[in-house]
Amino acid sequence: MKLTGEQDRQNSADVWVLAEMTGGALHPVSHELLGAARRLAADRGCRVWAVALGSDLSDAAASLIAHGADGVILVGDGRLQAFNDELECNVLERLVRKYRPEIFLGAATNRGRALIPRLASRLYAGLTADCTGLAIDPETGDLLQTRPAFGGNIMATIRSGGFRPQMATVRPKVMQALPGDRTRSGMVVRESVAPEDALHIKQILETIERRENTVNLSDARIIVAGGRAMKGPEGFALLESFAQRIGGALGASRAAVDSGWIAYPHQVGQTGQTVQADVYIACGISGQIQHLIGMQSCKTIVAIDIDDTTPMMQLADIAVKGDLFAVIPEVMKALDRAGVRRAPASTEADTEEEEQC
């Protein structure tokens, strides 16, 4: 929506987060978006609202408020059980025109990628997809949306100053979620699907979920990743035994994937997966921006490289200067000597189960 004057600008308020529901449960990216929204709202001096669309939203509001929402708009309707981009777009367009958010954040997931550009074009608003950084301009209050551009060769900061809402999508695992705080309270507003929202749209008759045997790095707590320095598939065999030894998953740089040493689902980075592991061990990966984008939110970064001036070695919490073909076998021997038992692969789901026990 184009702003026509200062009054128009003042009528827009608040940061909105579109919560993503998958199979009746909140996708973790919704909490990550709320974490980002809270920081923006603190700088902007406004509130955070989450919007959730689905058929069963019984637990959604409490979880969204605990993770940072000041208020939640729930649209519960059986027709929203399966993802229908046309219907969700119609509902959201109506709500945005009614409440006029200043900023609208969504997830750069398959669903978000289908829905949010459609909504942005309906609203005649700008959209910056796959942002890696979001901030408020202290002078204008506009949203500064940072993302890689020109094939990842530069980081561009984009603003849509004259249009509202300012819309951005963020990939899962890029932003940090806040710890859930069940003592927080917030407002819950219930909206419904209006008759005109459901007119002349496609009907979903059946949803078939395709489960492929892909590598799910995004839930791994430990990732051991190799780059060009692995020299070939044999190098990755060494890395795989190291990863198995410490209960980690196997990642790779694009250089290694393009060389055919490891399959694409293992690739981390701008054109691969985005990860947020507890520990990321980069072995012979120089740390070009396209790789860092995919892993820089990991909690502890360990780098092994013969060159200590690389971006990855500079970024690392623990930088080991040395030949990885000497360092990794030494580490495995040291684990054996110390009697450290072989660890099973662990994921975030395991952590949640452990926490619930």
| Residue keyed to tokens 């796959």 | 130
For residue 187, how far is the Cα from the chain centroid?
Answer: 26
With CB under 6 A as the contact rule, the residue among 47, 158, 325, 350 that binds ligand FAD is: 325
With CB under 6 A as the contact rule, the residue among 120, 131, 220, 229 that binds ligand FAD is: 229
Residue closer to ligand FAD, measured from CB, 62 or 320:
320
Task: Give the three-state DSSP class for 354.
Answer: helix
Residue closer to ligand FAD, measured from CB, 71 or 272:
272
With CB under 6 A as the contact rule, the residue among 132, 270, 274, 297 that binds ligand FAD is: 270
Binding mask 143-162 for ligand FAD (x = CB under 6 A): --------xx----------
Amino acid at position 192, single letter: S
Residue 324 touches ligand FAD, criterion: CB under 6 A = yes
With CB under 6 A as the contact rule, the residue among 63, 90, 310, 346 that binds ligand FAD is: 310
Cβ burial 59-83 (10 Å sphere, 16+ → b, else e): ebbbbbbbbbbbbbbbbbbebbeeb
Residue closer to ligand FAD, measured from CB, 27 or 254:
254
Report H helices in 212-253: 233-245
Q: Are 26 and 62 in contact (CB under 8 A)?
A: no
Residue closer to ligand FAD, measured from CB, 101 or 235:
235
**Segment lying near ligand FAD (by CB under 6 A), choices 107-115, 155-163, 268-276, 343-351:** 268-276
Residue closer to ligand FAD, measured from CB, 106 or 294:
294
With CB under 6 A as the contact rule, the residue among 118, 171, 266, 291 that binds ligand FAD is: 291
How do strand 133-136 and strand 143-149 relate by DSSP bridges? antiparallel
Structure-block tokens of residue 226: 């190799």
Task: Give the three-state DSSP class for 319.
Answer: strand
Task: Give the three-state DSSP class for 100.
Answer: coil
* Min dist. Cβ of residue 261 to ligand FAD (A): 10
Residue 61 touches ligand FAD, criterion: CB under 6 A = no
Task: Give the three-state DSSP class for 311.
Answer: helix
Residue 264 touches ligand FAD, criterion: CB under 6 A = no
**Which residues, other chains included, contact 181 with Cβ-Cβ below 8 Å and sequence gap of 6+?**
66, 67
What would you measure as the largest C-alpha separation in the chain, in angstroms?
71
* Min dist. Cβ of residue 252 to ligand FAD (A): 7
Using CB under 6 A, list all residues that contact ligand FAD: 151-152, 227-229, 253-256, 267-272, 284-286, 288, 290-291, 294, 304-307, 310, 323-325
